[in-house]
Structure 1
Amino acid sequence: MPAFFVTLLPLHLALSVVLFFGLLMGLAARLGWLSIGRGCARLMIGAVFGLGFSLGRALPEWWGILVAIVSIIGGLACVSAWERRLGLVVVSVKGPSAWGGNEPLLTPEGEPIRVFNHSEIAMGGPTYCDYLFPDGVLLQGLGSSAVFSSDGRYFAAPVPSRQNWGLVVLDRQQRQLYRCADSELWELDTFDLDVLRGRHSPLVDDSVRETRLGELLQTASVSNLVPVADLWLEPDGYPENIPHTFERHSADGLQRLQGNISLPSTFRDLAQPLEPLRSPRYTVSINGQPSDLLMAADAPLVWSTDQRALACLAQEHASQADGDQYWLWHVDDGWRVLPAPWVKSATEPSFYWHELLSLEANHVRIGSYLDYPRPSSGRYGYRLDSIHSDTETQAGHDAQGRVQVAEFKLTRTAIVMPLDSRGRRGDSYLETQPMQGGVCAQLAWLADNSAGLGGYRCQIGDWHLPGSWLLDHRVSDCGRYLALLPFEDSTTVTTHAVIADVQERRLLPGPAMWVERILDFRDGRLSLAVIAGRLGQDLESSALQRFNIPAPQPGSDPSFFHACEQSRLFYNTVDLQVTGSQLHRVAPWRLVDRAQVANADGDFILPAPGHQDAAWLFGSETEYADSWVRAQTPRLGGCLLTASGCALVDLAPSMIWSADGRYLALTCMATDVTEVCGSYRGWQLLLLDVQEHTLRVHSQWLGNRPVFERFDDEQLHVRCFERDWEAEGADDPGSIQSFSLDLLLQLPAEQLVCQDGFWLRSSQVNLAPLWRALTLPAIDYFQPESL
């Protein structure tokens, strides 16, 4: 705008405008209005262009062009020189990155700063860490982009957050900490005596921000750092009211264990300076007799049945490196350390212990548990994730296919260690959870095979089970059964599972398969992680091909299970059902009698009315494809095969047959759609004609999470919802859309192509060999007469 108007002015007035803006720049700089001065500089640049254009108009032909170019270049040089002289030029200096790596490691005086406890606010996001200054000031959870003021008095750092970032300024002289909420500074660049400069999110615009120190300190909340030992901390930066002593008495009151807090002389030199306050340790004495032991106030401890001895978890005061060990104290013999209660094998299930359960005259019982080896993608995967806490698990489906969630508890055990144990493998034995009648099974080590896997003798009360067994086991929820895996001589997997029926005192062997681990045992159904084959590293897993190298027959060469760089093992979940005196394999699919919802789980067969046809959907999973249950999340990527031979891929579970069994309405969820109302996903309606072998795709996008209500001779009714996931207790009844069958049949029809007995889309003919190779048991039921 200044260039346009100045161009229209006479030459003397145009020159006056340029000089006027130059004077305004000088006046603003003198008064300290730097931002106004920079704004005048921008206006002066426009006026210089206008003066150049005015000179060009005043002179004839090419002289005007030459003079205009020279005057503009010279004028811009003068403006730049004037800005620098007035101090209006902002030197662009980028400070440390918010993603870490360049945190200040020295104070302005040259003393070292400890920077530790790095973490991220999200995966791959900005980092935060702790700063320990040489004078003992400890600041926790600050951003990595930190700077000192030019005079060294102040230290500033952002506070990363998923929502609103904060800002912290430390007054090093007064030991005062100022916290400013809702700061726009992600990265700090420079800190002059009175101005802090930085930038907003580099992920968005990396735009420059600046704030005056005085204004910042006036609006921020201030706290005085408090001395704690040789540290200076925020008032709420450490645990307060730590008990300085605790006592544990025997049941008869005759024995008394007392703990008195033990704090180091200096905190600064510790790897975690606040660890003695967050997890204090106490020196131990019994009946007034001191010991050389340290223990936590909540450490496991148990008195003997005669109250004359105790076992606890503690460590020697002089030997911090050894960590906690189990110790035994007796009123007559004093203290002695106990060996490790269990000698683990690397190839056995993850096995951990901690709690002390009881102390008898000759042995101590220590609580322990086995890990939960959940497949990495729900009921299948290419690894078994080792979970070490109680969690949620899938326990069935409702009528519309929703996952029913139940609590999963880890397999609890008890290590029974003799008090005269020397810490050798086999000195201790294992007790299972209590079974029917309160009896516990005992697993005692016999020997290890060549793969390092232990074989154990199993005894349930006075019932000695024949043979040897692996450590992995599971007591059924009813307590009547104990699931075991037979010990093999030369492999880490076994050839079948066995159930011990305590009530009938008999063993129920399962069908032959390569069993890696026991997963769960509830409602009479035993779930196993079974190795079905291998998938080449150069192949992508799909529902049609989870593996391309089938596992050998059980009992054959075990080298198939050795580590291999060219392929990876495929783990599948197999369920075995206890029925009377038999243990039989459960089909991996469900026979349903109604339309399934979009978040329906698992393989299922939906018969057509009158059993004229059937649709088998398998392989659908959430877009996350992980081991979490995610009961409310829609499934996608499923494969469909009808009894009439139509084979389609990339479908969602929502489907319904027409009343006459000729048409099958299907759904598909596309996760890469961006043009639909700004969403990143979209749902499509498809219509399959199983008689003419044609497929129609509706051009109109459906709403979220469609579920079919009815499909009569005239209309198709589908209910869609506001959200794409099914929130528990949310008020989202959805709305019904109706589609005329006549209008649907007017859509362009894609003729399916017959290949090897399957009717495929022309773009998916290459999948015919994979369809032909399917050997799942559900294939046997794709005959109308069997339905």
Structure 2
Amino acid sequence: MFWQLGILLVPAFFVTVLPPPLALTAVLLFGLLMWLAARLGFLSLARGCARLMIGAVFGLGFSLGRALPEWWGILMAIVAIIGGLACVSKWERRLGLVTDPVKGPSAWGGSEPQLTPEGEPIRVFNHGEIAMGGPTYCDYLFPDGVLLQGLGSSAVFSDDGRYFAAPVPSRQSWGLVLLDRQKRRVYRCENSEFWELDTLDLNGLSGRHSPLVDNSARQGQLDELLQTANVVDLVAVVDLWLEPGWYPAHVPQTFERRSADGLQCLRGELSLPTTFRDLPQPLEPLSSPRYTVSINEQPSGLTMAADTPVIWSTDQRALVCQAQEQSGHPRDDRYWLWHVDSGWRALPSPWVKSDAEPSFYWHELLSLDEQHVHIASYLDYPRPSSGRYGYRLESIHSDTEIQAGHNAEGRMQVAEFQLTRMSIAMPLDSLGRRGDSFIETQPMLGGVRAHLVWLADSHDGLGAYRCEIGDWKLPGRWLLDHRVSDCGRYLALLPFTDSMPLATRAVVVDVEHRRLWEGPDMWTARVLDFRDGCLSLAVVAGALDEGLESSALQRFNIPAPPIGSDPAFFHPNGRSRLFYDTVELQVTDSQLYRVAPWRQVDRPQVANADGDFIQPAPDHQDAAWLFGSETEYADSWVRPDTPRLGGYLLTASGCALSDLAPSMVWSADSRYLALTRMATDATELCGNYRGWQLLLLDVQEHTLRVHSQWLGNRPLFEGFDEKYVHVRCFERDWEAEDDDDDDDDQGSLRAFALDLLLKLPAEQLICQDGFWLRASQTHLAPAWRALTLPSVDYFERRSL
């Protein structure tokens, strides 16, 4: 860029100081040099002279402006520059230095060649993007069976139709592919300059580089590109021509599955179609080959994949596998039973779903006995959206990470969450009706499994099930949702209540002592987890009217009705949305009791502390309750290292603030509370995307002070004595997993003098409905008044 700027400025400066006649001579001289260089074939030199001539034209205009008086000089300068630039442009075109570009297909797709030069159709499919919204790639299937995969959308043919060229999009370094259609030979060039191709003729390949940046022209001689490329000859595979390495070259021709006693043998022989070209995915017969199946040399009329599990019965005289009839679609596999006496028989779908029940799938065969085939399955994980709060249940169908506790400073402890595994026991004589099969839970103590046997459906589609654990038939009817505790001793169940879309409580089955523990009444939607004796449930606590903004201060404005009320509250109405909360029940030897949704801490919390907590004052006459803080993303992902923000604070003395981070500390005399806030729009103020502020709350005078300087990253308070507030700030705004290492980010300690903080301007809080609020937040007083206070001594004294 500086070089290009210099080419313009240097001649402009020197020509400006010349008198107008000499300045005009300089312009003409550069024009003559352009003509001479072009005639001798030095086109690059001629283009360089054109840049010098442009600078000289500006110099000529400035020279005229200096020589002529007042406005005449300005007018003549403008006329000379505009006219001179027009002459330079026309002279460049006259000499052939500039031509109107012929733009080819876009790298972003939509204009891929659909016909060969001979007019035959090209099949273009399997489109994709190298990044979200980035250049596209696709596969090209030519009429003669040549298949090229993963090429860019900007593709061209040569003028004589012999060559086909296309770039290879990449996140790092692009490539270029040339196809010799006569010899069926592919040239792969390590050339990252061509993003879009325009023409391919006797002069070579022309195109452009990086259309989103400079769209600069690129050219390459065809013979040079071919000589420096990696060359491969295409290989005939059935009716396709493929590049070696772009298809499975070694597909097993046969496979065998023998019974344990060796008396029965299932054999598969590779079955390939006579043509690949007409298939939706031409290479699918090679990437996912199918095999015709025979058993004991008797044809079955079925096909299956080589890696399909085959489950033999305990007496080795029967088997179950997934297969399909030879005329079927590869995705139409179903379960088939073979018996030595009766041959092959198709089995129905193992389970008839109800949309009102938890979502689950099945696939893997586990075992086969004389009466049932057992198929592995699982229940989804219905996590409330947006962290611990949400207005829907996210159906997660994979093992994931969850929060499983906190350390003393509030850091989230992460544990692996595994979906609730179970199995479907399908009778071999099943007719595919709802209730033919039953559910087996995960093994519990002694390896015993609970059986859930379908009885009937409610009008909402919820199934009622009988639960049997060995010879113990549990009283009552139950929903399908369940969870075995990590210790195997307990089974969590939800009772079925006719005409109710939700359970009204949770029940824990003590398998060891054959007892049932009932939890407190609550509208229970799903079972979430059961570990360390703690049962997690998703419950409906209320509903929020549409149009109202959700916050931790007001997640719902319509409380859930009492148990036994009209179930219409839980049906979608378009006027409000149900609010799902997470409730934990602790199992003891005598009962289930509800765990408080907050924890009490004895030290300042880190900036990325998770969850709600109460931090008592040193004299235990006051306490600070922080709740509702989330990461700036406010999503359901586990982000243990990310700072929290946007929290709400309530002291037992009645001070109510919002938009705070978890880092706080009480003064030694319990009068002051040092607080922090993280702003995510602090660029103009502190030069960073995030900015941290120090605040000082006086709980006696009910005043709030905000420090004028910005803190460092991720503040952590280490003390607040009679004179100073001590806070440690770090280099990074997130806490890496290896921050305990000596060589990692240990931060730096800062001390703020209390007497200087007290000299800052103080904002007087206003008492509204018994809460001390900032003047701009007095409208939130009703929401604070409706808040349910923690059941601890500090806040119970306040409520009195």
When normalised by structure 2's length, the TM-score is 0.91
- Distance in 1 of aligned mates of 2:638 and 2:623: 28
The question of 1:210 aligning with 2:218 is answered yes
Letter in 2 for 1:210: R
Per the alignment, do residues 490 and 188 of structure 1 end up closer, same or farther by CA in structure 2, a change over 3 Å counting? Answer: farther
The question of 1:198 aligning with 2:208 is answered yes
Structure 1, unpaired ranges of 5+: none
- Note if contact 2:652-2:798 (Cα within 8 Å) is conserved in structure 1: no
Per the alignment, do residues 328 and 86 of structure 1 end up closer, same or farther by CA in structure 2, a change over 3 Å counting? Answer: same
Per the alignment, do residues 76 and 524 of structure 1 end up closer, same or farther by CA in structure 2, a change over 3 Å counting? Answer: closer
Deviations 1:75-106 (A, max 9, x none): 44433332222222243555545444444433
Q: Secondary structure at the match of 1:559?
A: helix
- Distance in 2 of aligned mates of 1:151 and 1:22: 38
The question of 1:426 aligning with 2:435 is answered yes
Instruction: Name the structure 1 match of 2:498.
Output: 489
- Note if contact 1:165-1:185 (Cα within 8 Å) is conserved in structure 2: no
- Pick aligned residue for 1:774 from 787, 790, 794: 787
Q: How many angstroms does 1:745 deviate by?
A: 1.9
The question of 1:253 aligning with 2:266 is answered no
Deviations 1:428-483 (A, max 9, x none): 11111111121111111111111111111111111111121111111111111111
The question of 1:171 aligning with 2:179 is answered yes
Counterparts of 1:294-373 in structure 2, within 5 Å, are: 294-320=303-329, 323-373=332-382
Q: How many angstroms does 1:628 deviate by?
A: 1.5
Q: Secondary structure at the match of 1:276?
A: helix
Instruction: Name the structure 1 match of 2:4.
Output: none
- Pick aligned residue for 1:744 from 747, 757, 767: 757
- Distance in 2 of aligned mates of 1:64 and 1:684: 58
Instruction: Name the structure 2 match of 1:599.
Output: 608
Q: How many angstroms does 1:576 deviate by?
A: 1.0
Between 710-719 and 327-336, the greater mean CA deviation after superposition? 710-719
Deviations 1:342-401 (A, max 9, x none): 111111111211111111112211111111111121222111111111111211111111
The question of 1:81 aligning with 2:94 is answered no
- Distance in 1 of aligned mates of 2:138 and 2:793: 60
Letter in 1 for 2:763: E
Q: Secondary structure at the match of 2:390?
A: strand
The question of 1:244 aligning with 2:253 is answered yes
- Note if contact 2:304-2:323 (Cα within 8 Å) is conserved in structure 1: yes
Instruction: Name the structure 2 match of 1:570.
Output: 579
Per the alignment, do residues 671 and 140 of structure 1 end up closer, same or farther by CA in structure 2, a change over 3 Å counting? Answer: farther
- Distance in 2 of aligned mates of 1:673 and 1:225: 59
- Distance in 2 of aligned mates of 1:243 and 1:258: 12
Instruction: Name the structure 1 match of 2:636.
Output: 627
Between 325-334 and 285-294, the greater mean CA deviation after superposition? 285-294
Instruction: Name the structure 2 match of 1:265.
Output: 274
Letter in 2 for 1:744: L
- Note if contact 1:589-1:778 (Cα within 8 Å) is conserved in structure 2: no
- Distance in 2 of aligned mates of 1:94 and 1:600: 56
Q: How many angstroms does 1:180 deviate by?
A: 5.5
Deviations 1:225-250 (A, max 9, x none): 44433333343323343322221111
Q: How many angstroms does 1:168 deviate by?
A: 2.2
- Pick aligned residue for 1:653 from 649, 662, 675: 662
Q: How many angstroms does 1:607 deviate by?
A: 0.5
- Note if contact 2:464-2:480 (Cα within 8 Å) is conserved in structure 1: yes
Instruction: Name the structure 2 match of 1:402.
Output: 411
- Pick aligned residue for 1:415 from 412, 416, 424: 424
Q: How many angstroms does 1:676 deviate by?
A: 6.7
Instruction: Name the structure 2 match of 1:546.
Output: 555
- Distance in 1 of aligned mates of 2:582 and 2:732: 31
Letter in 2 for 1:764: Q
- Distance in 2 of aligned mates of 1:488 and 1:52: 92
Between 403-412 and 230-239, the greater mean CA deviation after superposition? 230-239
Letter in 1 for 2:775: S
- Pick aligned residue for 1:510 from 494, 511, 519: 519
- Pick aligned residue for 2:49 from 40, 43, 62: 40
- Distance in 2 of aligned mates of 1:676 and 1:121: 37
Letter in 2 for 1:113: I
- Distance in 1 of aligned mates of 2:207 and 2:759: 65
- Distance in 1 of aligned mates of 2:193 and 2:684: 31
Instruction: Name the structure 1 match of 2:128.
Output: 119
Instruction: Name the structure 1 match of 2:730.
Output: 721
Q: How many angstroms does 1:55 deviate by?
A: 6.6
Per the alignment, do residues 140 and 760 of structure 1 end up closer, same or farther by CA in structure 2, a change over 3 Å counting? Answer: farther
- Distance in 2 of aligned mates of 1:603 and 1:667: 16
- Note if contact 1:369-1:410 (Cα within 8 Å) is conserved in structure 2: yes
- Pick aligned residue for 1:637 from 646, 666, 691: 646
- Distance in 1 of aligned mates of 2:777 and 2:554: 14
- Distance in 2 of aligned mates of 1:488 and 1:3: 89
- Note if contact 1:190-1:198 (Cα within 8 Å) is conserved in structure 2: no
- Distance in 2 of aligned mates of 1:503 and 1:711: 52
Q: Secondary structure at the match of 1:89?
A: coil
- Distance in 2 of aligned mates of 1:534 and 1:363: 45
- Note if contact 1:654-1:708 (Cα within 8 Å) is conserved in structure 2: yes
Q: Secondary structure at the match of 1:27?
A: helix
The question of 1:457 aligning with 2:448 is answered no
- Note if contact 1:720-1:734 (Cα within 8 Å) is conserved in structure 2: yes
Q: How many angstroms does 1:177 deviate by?
A: 4.5
Letter in 2 for 1:200: S
Q: Secondary structure at the match of 2:361?
A: strand
Per the alignment, do residues 776 and 552 of structure 1 end up closer, same or farther by CA in structure 2, a change over 3 Å counting? Answer: farther
- Distance in 1 of aligned mates of 2:683 and 2:786: 36
- Distance in 2 of aligned mates of 1:89 and 1:293: 67
- Distance in 1 of aligned mates of 2:104 and 2:573: 47
The question of 1:664 aligning with 2:664 is answered no
The question of 1:734 aligning with 2:747 is answered yes
Structure 2, unpaired ranges of 5+: 1-8
- Note if contact 1:293-1:314 (Cα within 8 Å) is conserved in structure 2: yes
- Distance in 2 of aligned mates of 1:755 and 1:285: 83
Deviations 1:203-244 (A, max 9, x none): xx4442424245666666555444433333343323343322
Per the alignment, do residues 471 and 71 of structure 1 end up closer, same or farther by CA in structure 2, a change over 3 Å counting? Answer: closer
- Note if contact 1:158-1:165 (Cα within 8 Å) is conserved in structure 2: no
- Note if contact 1:623-1:635 (Cα within 8 Å) is conserved in structure 2: yes
Letter in 1 for 2:253: H
Instruction: Name the structure 2 match of 1:754.
Output: 767
Per the alignment, do residues 358 and 83 of structure 1 end up closer, same or farther by CA in structure 2, a change over 3 Å counting? Answer: same
Letter in 1 for 2:727: V
- Note if contact 2:626-2:647 (Cα within 8 Å) is conserved in structure 1: yes
Letter in 1 for 2:207: R
- Distance in 1 of aligned mates of 2:217 and 2:792: 65
Query: What do you get for the CA RMSD once the two structures are aligned?
Result: 2.8
Q: Secondary structure at the match of 1:381?
A: coil
Across the two proteins, how many residue pairs are aligned to each other? 784
Q: Secondary structure at the match of 1:763?
A: helix
Q: Secondary structure at the match of 1:382?
A: coil
- Distance in 2 of aligned mates of 1:239 and 1:732: 49
- Distance in 1 of aligned mates of 2:722 and 2:72: 85
Percent of aligned pairs with the same residue? Answer: 75
Letter in 2 for 1:496: R
Deviations 1:469-519 (A, max 9, x none): 111111111111111111122243221111111122222111111111111
